[in-house]
Amino acid sequence: MAGTKRRSTRQAATRRRSVYLDPETDDDFEADSDEDAYQPVDIIEVAQEPAPKKRKLSVRRKPQTRSKAAKTRQTSLKRVFKVGKVRKPNAEPVSKVFTGPSDGKIPKWAELPHNVLKQIFVYAAGDTQTWVRASHDNAAWLKLSAARVCRAFSEPALEAFYDSPGIHNTQHPHQLLELLQESNDRRYINYNAKVHSLNIDLRNLAYSAPGRPVFDLLQLIPQLPQLRHMQLLHQNYEKPYRPRKQPKWTTQPRELIKAMEDRDIHLRTWRWSRDTIAKNPLAQDVALDLYEKISNAHESSVFAYLTRLIVTGFNVDDSLEPSASQSNDHTVEGYSPPGLATSIAKLPALTDLSFISCDIIMEKFLQRLPTNLQRLELSNCLEITSDMLRDFFDTSGAYLKELELNNNAALNLSFTQSLKEKCPRLEVLKMDLQLYSERETTNDAIELYDELLPEDEIASWPTTLRHLEILEAQKWSPNSAQNFFRTLVDRADELLDLRTLIIHAHIDIPWRDRVGFRDQWIERLRRVYERPQEDPFGGIGSLKQFRMSRQKPSDHIKLYSSDLDELSRDMSHTDRPRRSRTATHVQISPHKPSGDTDRYSDSDSQSTSTTARPRRRSRRVAESQVVARSTTATPAPESASDIDTEDEDDTEDWRKIPEKYVQGLCNIVDVRIDNQRPRETQWREADFLDAEASGDDDWNEDAEEEEDGYAW
C-alpha cells in the first residue's frame, strides 16, 4: 500500500453525495476528482444518503458588475458587428442654394474689369501663407482651379496667386526660381513683374529639397524687380514663442541689400531677425558689429521708403545696445556707437514698428525711436512696463493711432490713465495678457506685476477710439474692475467712434457675488454700446426679386443708419424714421455657455421674454430674470419675492436707473467675466465630443459577440 494515496477520514465523513466505486481499483479512488470518467457498473449506495444526481454542466459567464446586474435581461441579443455591414451615411452639409424668384440669367462674370476680378479672387482665396493645410488648399485652388475656368479668369487668378506666392515646402523655392528664369516666349504672362510680396519660412531655406542643394536666396532676389514686402519667418517668434529645434540659417545683410540695390528695389516691409544675421567671428564686439550692419542697411536706398519694420529675437545676451564708452575705434568727440533704436530712427518713412521677443527694450529705449510712429506693437517683451510706455507717450504718442500689446509679463493697465491726454489720435488698442511658458513641461507663465490696475488709478479714453480689445485680464480686484467698467459707461457720450468692444476678464471672487457683478456690467455695457440688430434686406437675391421688392415695398424695411447718409438726405423729415436714444428692454439669456461666461440677447417684445424658462442658479438671479428697464416708464411695483432682504433690493437698483447716455453704435460687444485662469490650451466640451459623422452602431454592453464574425 505504499504506492496508494491516503484518503482523509474527515473528508470521507463530511461528503454528502454518492460515491461511485470501481471494485478493481478501490484503493486508488480519489474523492477530490469530479471529472473522472466511469463505466456503468454495479453501484454500491452508502446507507442513509440520497439518490445520486447527474451533474449539469453550464457555460461559465463573465462576472457582472453592479450596474449591469441591475438592468433587466434582454430577451434577444443584438448583433454588434457584422462583416460587410452598410455604414451610416455621412451627414449632408446644409445646402446654400438660392430658391427665390429669378430670371434664370447668369451674370456676365467674365466681362468684369481685370482689377475687380483680381480682388474677388484674393478675397475668395483667403490665407495662402501660413504653415497649415488650409493655406495649401487655398493656394492650389487659385492656381489649379480658378485660373482654368476660362481665359478671362486665368490672368486675374494667376496674379492673385503670384502677388504673394505661397512657399509651403522645400521644393517650392526651386520651382519658383525656375519659372522666373524662363524666357517670356515660353510663359503665359510675365511672372517676374507680378510678385510684390515674399514671405519665406526659414525651414524651407534651412532644409534641402530631395535631389537639390540648399536654396540660395541671393539667386531669387534679382528675379523680382517689383518686390515691395519681404519677411523671413522664424517659428520661434510665433505663439507660444517657445524655442524649437531647427537648422540654423544665416545670411550677410550686406550681400542681400546689394542684390536689391542692383535691381533698384524699394521695400515697404522688412523683418530683422537676430537668428538670421551672421556673426563676424573676428569682431571684437559682436553687438557693435551687428548694429553697424543694420545702420548701414538703413542708410541704403532699399529702405528709403520703408513704412513697416518687424524686429524679432534681440536679447540682452548678444544684442545689448553699446554705450558711448564702448567705442574704442573712433576718437571723434561726442561719437555714439549705433544701436538698435538709433538705427531704426534713420528710417525716414517708418510709421509701423513691431518688436517680438525683444528683451533689450528697457529704460529709455522707446524714447529714442522715431516720433512719427502711427502703429506700435510689443509682443512677448519681458522688460516692458507701464512707466516705460508713459515715457514713450510723452515723446511719440501724439501721432500714435494703433497700439498692440501682447503677452508681456510685466505690463499692466496703469498706462491707460494717460491715454486721453497723451494719445489724442489713438484709434485701436489691443491687449492680450495671456502668458506662455518657455517649456512645455513646466508652468512658469507668471505675471510680474502686483495688480492689473490699482483701485486709485482711473482709465481715460481718447475720443477717437474705434476698437478696444482686452483679453485674458488677470489679477484684477472687483473694485478696480468696477471702476474700469464705469469709465466706459460714464464716458459713452465721448466715445462716439467706438465700434468694437471686447473685454475678457478673470476676477477671483465668490461665485454668488460674481453672478451679480457679471450680470450688472455685461448688461450695462451691452445696453449702452450695442447696436440694435436688424434683419438684412432679403430682396437682393436676384434682379427679379429686387424688382418685385421695389414694386411692393414692405413695411419692415428700414433705410436708416446712425449717421445721415445720401439715402436719408433724400427723405423728408416727416418720413424719416426716428432713432431712439433710449435703452430698450434687455432680457438676460438663460443659456450659460462654457467657461462660466454670459451671453445676452435683446428682445423687443415682452411676450418673447416671458416664454423662456431660465435655469435657476440662485434665488437672487432667478428673481432678476424678468426685470424690465425703461428710461420713460415708471418702475413696476415690487413683489414679495423682490423685497425679501434689503441687500437684494440694493443690488437691483441699477436696473431701474436709466443710463446717462446710450451710444448704441457698436457692432461687436463681447464682454466675459469669470474666475478661470487662462491656459495655453483651453479644453471645452466640444473637444470631448465625437466628431465622426458616420460609424458603427453604438456599443451594447449586454450583447455578446458572435464567434463567426471578424473584428480588428
| Nearest alpha carbon to residue 269 among 210, 199, 367 | 199
pLDDT (0 to 100) of residue 679: 78
Q: DSSP secondary-structure letter at 144?
A: I
| pLDDT score for 391 | 93
For the stretch 155-192, pLDDT in tens is 999 999 999 998 988 999 999 999 999 998 889 999 99
395 found inside a domain: no
Rounded to an integer, the average pLDDT of 498-519 is 90
- 674 in any annotated domain: no
Residue 26, pLDDT score: 45
Query: Cell 468692444, residue?
Result: 501
Give the pLDDT confidence score for residue 607 in this predicted structure: 37
Exposure string of 657-696, with b = 16+ CB inside 10 Å and e = fewer, is: eebebbbbbbeebbbbbbebebeeeeeeeeeeeeeeeeee
pLDDT > 50? residue 271: yes
Grid coordinates of 447: 505675471
Higher pLDDT: 413 or 626? It is 413
Q: Which of 70-79, 217-226, 420-429, 587-596 has the lowest mean pLDDT?
A: 587-596
Q: 481 with 506: CB under 8 angstroms?
A: no
Mean pLDDT of the chain: 76
Query: For the residues 334-348, what does the mean pLDDT come to?
Result: 82
Residue of 451, 419, 420, 421 lying closest to 433 (CA atoms): 451
pLDDT the model gives residue 245: 82
How sure is the predictor about 17, in pLDDT bands with cuts at 50, 70 and 90?
A: very low
In a domain, 33, yes or no: yes
What pLDDT was estimated at residue 29?
44
Instruction: Summarize the confidence of residues 133-145 as an average pLDDT.
Output: 86
Task: Read off the pLDDT of residues 640-653 as tens digits, 9 standing for 90 and up.
Answer: 344 344 444 445 67
pLDDT band at residue 335 under the 50/70/90 scheme: low
Distance CA(378)–CA(356), nearest Å, equals: 6
DSSP state of 501: E
pLDDT at 220 over 70: yes
Q: CA-to-CA distance for 593 and 686, rounded, in angstroms?
A: 12
Average pLDDT over residues 330-334: 47
* Distance (Å) of CA 412 to CA 397, 402, 409, 548, 691: 18, 18, 8, 57, 40
129 within some domain: no
d(CA 675, CA 390): 30
pLDDT, tens digit, 9 for 90 and up, residues 427-452: 999 999 999 988 888 888 888 999 99
Q: Is residue 463 scored above 90 in pLDDT? A: yes
- pLDDT value at residue 144: 86
Task: Average the pLDDT over each of 29-33, 45-49, 132-136, 402-406 and give the range with the smallest value.
Answer: 29-33
Question: What pLDDT shows up at residue 266?
Answer: 96
Give the residue among 288, 396, 290 at the shortest CA–CA distance from 350.
396
- pLDDT score recorded for residue 708: 53
Encode 189-205: b = buried (16+ Cβ within 10 Å), e = exposed. Answer: eebbebbbbbbbbbbbb
pLDDT at residue 468, as a whole number: 96
* Higher-pLDDT residue of 695, 481: 481
Q: What is the pLDDT of residues 4-13, one digit of tens each?
A: 444 444 444 4
- pLDDT digits 0-9 by tens, 319-331: 677 664 554 444 4
pLDDT cut 90: percent of the chain above it: 39
CB half-sphere exposure, 287, CA atoms < 13 A: 17
Q: How many residues does the chain have?
A: 712
Q: Does residue 23 belong to any structural domain of this protein? A: yes
Closest by Cα among 664, 601, 659 to 629: 659
Tell me how crowded residue 561 is: count the other CB atoms within 10 A of its CB. 12
pLDDT digit string, tens, across residues 239-264: 889 888 878 888 889 999 999 999 99
Q: Which of 536, 543, 537, 534 is CA-nearest to residue 100?
A: 543
pLDDT at 621: 42
Better-scored residue on pLDDT, 22 or 564: 22
- Residue 378 has phi, psi (to 5 degrees) of -130, 115
pLDDT value of residue 615:
44
pLDDT value at residue 80: 54
Confidence of residue 486 (pLDDT cuts 50, 70, 90): very high
- 595-616 average pLDDT score: 38
What pTM was computed for the model?
0.70
Average pLDDT over residues 203-212: 90
DSSP states along 165-221: ----STHHHHHHHHHHHS-GGGSSS-GGGG--EEEEETHHHHSPPTTS----HHHHG
Alpha-carbon gap, residue 36 to 611, rounded angstroms:
77
- For 617, phi then psi, to 5°, come to -90, -45
Stretch 219-241: mean pLDDT = 92
Distance, CA of 125 to CA of 335 (rounded, Å): 52
pLDDT score of 363: 81
Q: Regarding predicted confidence, which is higher, 637 or 662?
A: 662
| pLDDT for the residue 135 | 83
* Residue 490: band (very low, low, confident or very high) from pLDDT cuts 50, 70, 90: very high
Name the grid cell of 548: 418685385
Per-residue burial over 611-621, b if 16 or more Cβ lie within 10 Å, else e, is eeebeeeeebb
Q: What SS3 state is found at 271?
A: strand
Domain assignment of residue 8, yes or no: yes
| Predicted local distance difference test score (pLDDT) of residue 626 | 36
8 Å CB contact between 412 and 386: yes
Structural domain containing residue 5: 1-49
Range of 137-146, 405-414, 434-443 with top mean pLDDT: 405-414
Confirm whether 57 is domain-assigned: no
Q: Is the pLDDT of residue 624 over 70?
A: no
Which pLDDT value is given to residue 170? 92
pLDDT in tens, 348-358: 999 999 999 99
What's the domain count of the chain?
A: 1
SS3 237: helix
Long-range contacts of 539-544 (CB under 8 A, 24+ apart): 541/98, 541/100, 541/102, 542/98, 542/100, 542/101, 542/102, 542/103, 543/102, 543/103, 543/105, 544/101, 544/102, 544/103
Average pLDDT over residues 204-219: 91
**Beta carbons within 10 angstroms of residue 20's beta carbon:** 14
Q: What is the pLDDT of residue 510?
A: 85
37 domain residue, yes or no: yes
